[in-house]
Amino acid sequence: MKISFIGLGNMGAPMARKLIAASHELVGFDTATTPDGIAMAGSAAEAATGADAVITMLPNGAILQAVAAEIHPAMKAGALHLDCSTVDVDSARIVGEAAENAGLSAVDAPVSGGIGGAEAGTLTFMAGGSEEAFATAQPLFEIMGQKAVHCGAAGNGQAAKICNNMILGITMIGTCEAFNLADKLGLDRQAMFDVVSTSSGYSWSMNAYCPAPGVGPQSPADNGYTPGFAAELMLKDLRLSQMAAEATDADTPMGQAATALYQSFVEDEDGLGKDFSAMLPRFEKRGRG
């Protein structure tokens, strides 16, 4: 396939390189970076011209809508717009409808797996769009990741992502709180892990991404909390979850609390640029008050 990839940051560039390694013809565009090994166009519209598929990986819904307005008129009839950004559900649905009105197919498919998953090709894609569009995108998912789940109509990929990450933010905070309490009670961290990881407190945050250094599988905690998945990105996703909760009148008190905690951590404390599991040393520094 002839592919255009717009948005070549920490996630987009390794995803694009996977497609190049699989012998697809690819041209990229990014306003801020020129990654090695990727042919670059002078504009998003130039990159999209003649492509069978245009993949976007962009920071927010407003930018996605602006880029879509630029690239859709340049894309050939029937081409696929595969958006892998994490944005608000409304923006995903607006862009999906705009693509259909332009005679294109569209899939919103945010990812889970972080930078490491992008580099390893082990991402999970949560996809919204028609069955036909999902089938068109499936070979690309297989190159860039290990799993793609069709979640339903346009926007449902974003819905699945923000619900998943609301759970993740909440459970990571709970895991960090529990380790801090265990420390104050004199419980050895390894003993804590050995019990919880095989008991009813089992979670991905504990078992696969343990926030305590030297305990469990290798995680960002063992590398000074260098992201993995940055705390500011978790805050972005939690804010998206609460925007959606507000729009649908959904009661999400734990999601609200997690959003407030990550907002304090990122904006008022020292969490910016750290992994989201660095909530553990945050709690270690604090008392109950």
Residues classed as catalytic = 161
Residue 44 half-sphere exposure, CB side, CA atoms within 13 Å?
23
**Beta-strand (E) ranges in 79-144?**
80-83, 105-108, 111-112, 123-129
Question: What span, in angstroms and rounded, lies between the C-alpha atoms of 214 and 235?
Answer: 26
User: From start to end of the chain, where are the E strands?
Assistant: 2-6, 25-29, 39-40, 53-56, 80-83, 105-108, 111-112, 123-129, 145-152
